[in-house]
């Protein structure tokens, strides 16, 4: 196994890059569908979610250094110690490879473009990109079995970012199964200045479901028709995020933006993850750009991007 001091490393594209420095993209994701089931004994909920990679990405740079591992990030308020998922990724792979003590010899720099705490998976995607980069620096096979375990330890969507494209997630979301790829769409992503914590979103869902049960109301959300996921195109009309209604009841600006995206002609308009970002899928770039201008409120981060399949992700991974 290489210790990262080899003079040159070959890239996936067949070129060369100076040893001790790798740079790669960490792509965001959107949740096309989230079905939240019962709460499990471990405190998590059973999920059935369809995740989709998009072109919006952070840039992650790893550099060999002397001394302890360190992490830097361009976004304010992002931790740079062991509370950062990128730091935990280095630590997790270091331990999985049987190396003693605290991780050493690498500096991680993250240039953020993915909004933070928005349901776009930016933190986990950065961390999984770090895993890939560490494999390159340390000469570790990228299909090492422990890599999936380390990724799962970073978050329920960690294994998704090792696969990418259009993926079915089960369990907590960590059991991933590649699906037939979604046809390329333009994506308007809009993130408000105020985020939504995952704990708050699930707490609001539990509170609303308890209130509905107390009133004796039908709980169609648990028996709703689920979109086909194997050997068939997605039924856009069946896609739904169970967390969206509880969140938008408390956050009217998110509800308003979803409605504007839908009214602008989006084939799907919804909140992603536990929020607070929302997205709309469009088949026409000009229409997407026009709708994006209409939801560019003060303080919001709005971007027009596109969906990414697994082939394109592989080709665009390394910088």
Burial class of residue 296, CB neighbours in 10 A (0-12, 13-18, 19+): middle
Q: Is 33 tagged catalytic?
A: no
Neighbouring residues of 258: CB distance < 8 A, sequence distance ≥ 6? 244, 248, 269, 270, 271, 278
* Among the listed residues 34, 54, 35, 47, the one whose alpha carbon sits nearest the alpha carbon of residue 281: 54
Q: How far apart are CA 226 and CA 32, in angstroms?
A: 12
State how far Cα 247 lies from the chain centre.
19
Pairing state between β 45-68 and 70-73: unpaired
3-state DSSP percent of the chain in helix, strand and coil, to 5: 35, 30, 35
Marked catalytic residue, from 29, 33, 112, 242: 29
User: First CA to last CA across the chain, in angstroms?
Assistant: 24
Q: DSSP for 253-285?
A: HHHHHHHHHHHTT-SEEEE-TTSS-EEEEES-H
Q: How far apart are CA 64 and CA 314, in angstroms?
A: 24
Q: Is 267 tagged catalytic?
A: no
Neighbouring residues of 133: CB distance < 8 A, sequence distance ≥ 6? 22, 24, 60, 62
Marked catalytic residue, from 58, 157, 240, 242: 157
Residues that are catalytic: 29, 157
């Amino acid at each position: 196994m290489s210790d990262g001091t080899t003079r040159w490393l070959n890239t996936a594209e067949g070129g060369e890059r100076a040893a001790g420095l790798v740079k790669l993209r960490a792509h965001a994701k959107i949740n096309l569908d989230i079905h939240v089931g019962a709460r499990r004994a471990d405190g998590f909920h059973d999920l059935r979610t369809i995740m989709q990679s998009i072109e919006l990405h952070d840039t992650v740079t790893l550099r060999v250094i002397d001394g302890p591992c360190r992490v830097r990030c361009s976004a304010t308020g992002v931790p740079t110690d062991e509370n950062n998922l990128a730091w935990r990724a280095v630590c997790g792979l270091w331990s999985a490879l049987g190396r003693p003590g605290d991780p050493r010899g690498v500096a991680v720099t993250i240039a953020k473009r993915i909004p933070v705490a928005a349901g776009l998976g930016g933190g986990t995607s950065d961390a999984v990109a770090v895993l890939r980069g560490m494999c390159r620096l340390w000469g570790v096979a990228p299909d090492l079995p422990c890599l999936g375990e380390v990724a799962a330890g970073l978050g329920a969507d960690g294994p998704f970012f090792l696969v990418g494209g259009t993926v079915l997630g089960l369990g907590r979301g960590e059991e991933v199964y590649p699906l037939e790829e979604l046809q390329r769409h333009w994506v308007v992503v809009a993130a408000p200045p105020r985020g939504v914590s995952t704990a708050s979103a699930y707490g609001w869902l539990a509170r609303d479901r308890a209130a509905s049960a107390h009133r004796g109301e039908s709980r169609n959300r648990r028996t709703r028709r689920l979109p086909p996921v194997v050997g068939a195109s997605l039924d856009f009309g069946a896609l739904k995020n169970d967390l969206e209604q509880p969140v938008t009841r408390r956050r009217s600006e998110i509800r308003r933006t979803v409605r504007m995206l839908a009214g602008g002609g989006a084939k799907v308009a919804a909140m992603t993850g536990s929020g607070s970002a929302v997205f709309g899928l469009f088949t026409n770039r000009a229409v997407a750009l026009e709708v994006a201008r209409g939801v560019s409120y003060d303080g919001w981060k709005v971007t027009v991007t596109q969906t990414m399949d697994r082939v394109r992700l592989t080709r665009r991974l390394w910088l």
